[in-house]
């Protein structure tokens, strides 16, 4: 196992009715900015619960944070934060609202010349302060409720970039599984596969003598494969919703990724498909992962076989036959939810290949993946394999 540090300061309040606890969680006397998206929270009762809990507080609203939150929109929020002397942000929504709010929290106190640097110069500049924030999660998927990551899209240039900072960990996150009941089916599906692939990014690499992380990861993969269909079969099944929600949070709160190699190539390539073609984040991952499993089958052989044996129960055949069956079963899992795994299914043709390569080249990226050996040539092969 590699050396690691683990730090996760997020207080999680999990369960039915927990939104009422907001009253005791937000700081007294705070000027609160309540951030949300396109209005789903006004249809499913979450907004009323939040406002009821905050009725004694000074709350200003900032709505309209879109899916794959736009830098342009968020900068309007930053202007509001400054004008209204906001000192606490409360994000109520899915990953997009949470990520957008994290960016606003950092950008509001950014002393550099251009807040876009927070994203475009990731790793070269450091966010050393941010306004405090809390969250009420309405869509289990991204893990944003319990991590210090934010992904933002600049609409003007179609760049979708991420940053991380310990300063944007939520102070608290409220996870009430009942929010799952009002989610459109496609968002539940996106959430299940996003969480599944978060685990894969931290698991499907090479062995690192880390059985704790491996078995945690396998338990999350198995849980998502079992509970996902239950959530979809009965949209009012509280227990299934609760297990799905907790699995999605655990998938990306840092725990399973400590001390082990991590990949993230599926996400990096997937972000380009969202930025260029607006394909949902979860769907992009289902297009790319099977291609990576195929092109990197040798590199990932030991973990592919371990995943096959322990999660998919594939034990018969030669190594190659087993890996073929593992890739097929993984695709079947995505397709069982109605997700398409080829670019042609989304109206995208071979023009995507030079476009994606050009964008990686422009950013100076030559290779990605857990060994840093998934080259631009490999990315082209993966996209080509996934064309139709
Ligand atoms: O805008 P509203 O009206 O709220 O509607 C949203 C949105 O249209 C709707 N929705 C959310 N909760 C609902 C609901 N509708 C009914 N009932 C509810 N309870 O769902 C739609 C999608 O929401 P969005 O927040 O965009 O989805 P998701 O949570 O999947 O977030 C995706 C974003 O997170 C980023 C993605 O790249 C993408 O930008 N990610 C963030 C990560 C992180 N912070 O660690 C990691 C992930 O890999 C991912 O990259
Ligand atoms: Zn993701």
Q: Is residue 50 part of a domain?
A: yes
Q: Is residue 205 part of a domain?
A: yes
- Give the model confidence (pLDDT) of 180-232 as tens digits: 999 999 999 999 999 999 999 999 999 999 999 999 999 999 999 999 999 99
Query: Cα–Cα distance between 319 and 301 in angstroms, integer?
Result: 8
pLDDT value at residue 298: 97
Atom 44, ligand 1: residue with shortest CA distance = 144
Instruction: Give Cα 1 to chain centroid, integer Å.
Output: 25
Tell which one of 139, 178, 236, 274 to mutate to probe ligand 1, the residue whose CB is within 8 A of the most ligand atoms: 139
| Together in a domain, 258 and 341 | yes
Tell which one of 99, 185, 250 to mutate to probe ligand 1, the residue whose CB is within 8 A of the most ligand atoms: 99
pLDDT value at residue 303: 98
| Together in a domain, 190 and 336 | yes
Query: Cα–Cα distance between 214 and 183 in angstroms, integer?
Result: 31
- Are 50 and 136 within 8 A, CB to CB? yes
Which phi and psi (to 5°) does residue 363 adopt?
-85, 0
Q: Report CA(195)–ligand 2 centroid distance (Å).
A: 7
| Together in a domain, 88 and 223 | no
Q: Is residue 5 part of a domain?
A: no
Q: Is residue 1 part of a domain?
A: no
pLDDT exceeds cutoff 90 at 129: yes
Query: Cα–Cα distance between 281 and 153 in angstroms, integer?
Result: 12
Q: Is residue 158 part of a domain?
A: yes
Whole-number percent of the chain with pLDDT over 90: 98
Nearest to 90 by CA among 178, 172, 164: 172
User: Among 155, 178, 201, where does a domain finish?
Assistant: 178
Per-residue confidence band for 309, with pLDDT thresholds at 50, 70 and 90: very high
- Are 90 and 136 within 8 A, CB to CB? yes
Nearest to 178 by CA among 340, 14, 324: 14
| Together in a domain, 195 and 94 | no
- Are 186 and 252 within 8 A, CB to CB? no
| Together in a domain, 136 and 158 | yes
Partnered with residue 151 across adjacent β-strands are 162
Radius of gyration of the chain (CA): 20
User: Among 159, 178, 197, where does a domain finish?
Assistant: 178
Per-residue confidence band for 376, with pLDDT thresholds at 50, 70 and 90: very high
| Together in a domain, 155 and 238 | no
Per-residue confidence band for 258, with pLDDT thresholds at 50, 70 and 90: very high
Query: How confident is the model over 339-345, as a mean pLDDT?
Result: 97
Tell me, what DSSP letter sits at residue 8?
-
DSSP H stretches of helix in 144-295: 185-203, 211-233, 238-251, 265-277, 281-295
| Together in a domain, 163 and 194 | no
Q: Report CA(95)–ligand 1 centroid distance (Å).
A: 4
Q: Is residue 299 part of a domain?
A: yes
Give me the domain span that covers residue 82: 11-178
| Together in a domain, 191 and 173 | no
pLDDT value at residue 162: 95
- Are 63 and 36 within 8 A, CB to CB? yes
Query: Cα–Cα distance between 143 and 122 in angstroms, integer?
Result: 20
pLDDT value at residue 123: 85
Domain count, the chain: 2
CATH number of the domain within which 131 lies: 3.40.50.1970
Helix, strand, coil shares of the chain as percentages rounded to 5?
55, 10, 35
Nearest to 66 by CA among 99, 114, 115, 33: 99
pLDDT value at residue 141: 97
Query: How confident is the model over 248-257, as a mean pLDDT?
Result: 98
- Give the model confidence (pLDDT) of 147-180 as tens digits: 999 999 999 999 999 999 999 999 999 999 999 9
Close Cβ partners of 282 (under 8 Å, ≥ 6 residues apart): 141, 189, 190, 191, 192, 193, 194, 197, 339
pLDDT value at residue 351: 97
User: Among 178, 211, 233, where does a domain finish?
Assistant: 178
pLDDT value at residue 341: 97
Judged by its nearest atom, the ligand closest to the C-alpha of residue 271 is: 1
| Together in a domain, 96 and 214 | no
Strand order in the sheet with 31-35: 11-14, 172-175, 133-137, 88-93, 31-35, 58-62
CA 46 to ligand 1: nearest atom: 19
- Give the model confidence (pLDDT) of 47-91 as tens digits: 999 999 999 999 999 999 999 999 999 999 999 999 999 999 999
Query: How confident is the model over 240-255, as a mean pLDDT?
Result: 98
Q: What is the reported pTM?
A: 0.96
Helix and strand numbers, DSSP H then E, in the chain: 15, 10
| Together in a domain, 215 and 153 | no
| Together in a domain, 128 and 204 | no
| Together in a domain, 207 and 159 | no
Partnered with residue 161 across adjacent β-strands are 152
pLDDT value at residue 9: 98
Close Cβ partners of 2 (under 8 Å, ≥ 6 residues apart): 208, 259, 260, 261
Question: How many CB atoms sit inside 10 A of residue 265's CB?
Answer: 23
Q: Is residue 4 part of a domain?
A: no
Q: Is residue 361 part of a domain?
A: yes
CATH number of the domain within which 319 lies: 1.20.1090.10
CA 190 to ligand 1: nearest atom: 30
pLDDT exceeds cutoff 90 at 25: yes
Atom 22, ligand 1: residue with shortest CA distance = 67
* Beta strand pairing call for 133-137 and 88-93: parallel
């Amino acid at each position: 196992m590699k050396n690691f540090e683990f730090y996760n300061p997020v207080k999680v309040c999990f369960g039915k009715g927990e939104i009422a606890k907001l009253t005791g969680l937000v700081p007294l006397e705070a000027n609160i900015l309540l951030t949300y998206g396109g209005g789903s929270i006004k249809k499913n009762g979450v907004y009323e619960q939040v406002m009821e809990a905050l009725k004694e507080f000074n709350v200003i609203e900032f709505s309209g944070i879109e899916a794959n939150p736009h830098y342009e929109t968020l900068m309007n929020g930053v202007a509001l934060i400054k004008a209204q002397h906001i000192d606490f942000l409360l994000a109520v929504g899915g990953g997009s609202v949470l990520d957008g709010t994290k960016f606003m929290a950092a950008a509001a106190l950014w002393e550099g010349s251009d807040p876009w640097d927070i994203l475009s110069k990731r790793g070269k500049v450091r966010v050393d302060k941010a306004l405090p924030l809390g969250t009420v999660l309405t869509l289990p998927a991204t893990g944003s409720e319990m991590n210090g990551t934010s992904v933002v899209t600049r609409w003007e240039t179609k760049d979708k970039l991420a940053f991380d900072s310990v300063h944007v960990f939520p102070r608290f996150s409220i996870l009430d599984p009942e929010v799952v009941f009002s989610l459109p089916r496609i968002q539940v599906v996106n959430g299940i596969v996003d969480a599944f692939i978060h685990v894969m990014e931290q698991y499907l690499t090479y062995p690192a003598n880390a059985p704790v992380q491996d078995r945690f990861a396998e338990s999350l993969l198995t849980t998502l494969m079992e509970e996902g269909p239950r959530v979809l079969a009965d949209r009012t099944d509280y227990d299934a919703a609760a297990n799905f929600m907790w699995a999605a949070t655990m998938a990306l709160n840092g725990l399973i990724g400590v001390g082990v190699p991590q990949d993230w190539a599926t996400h990096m390539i997937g972000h380009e498909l969202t930025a260029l073609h607006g394909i949902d984040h979860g769907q992009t991952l289902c297009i790319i992962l099977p291609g990576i499993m195929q092109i990197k089958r040798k590199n990932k052989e030991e973990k592919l076989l371990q995943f096959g044996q322990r999660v998919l129960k594939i034990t018969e055949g030669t190594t190659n036959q087993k890996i073929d069956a593992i890739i097929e079963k993984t695709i079947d899992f995505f397709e069982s939810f109605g997700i398409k795994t080829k670019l042609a299914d989304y109206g995208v043709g071979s023009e995507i290949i030079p476009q994606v390569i050009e964008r990686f080249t422009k950013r100076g990226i030559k290779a990605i993946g857990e060994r840093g050996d998934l080259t631009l040539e490999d990315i082209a092969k993966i996209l080509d394999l996934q064309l139709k």
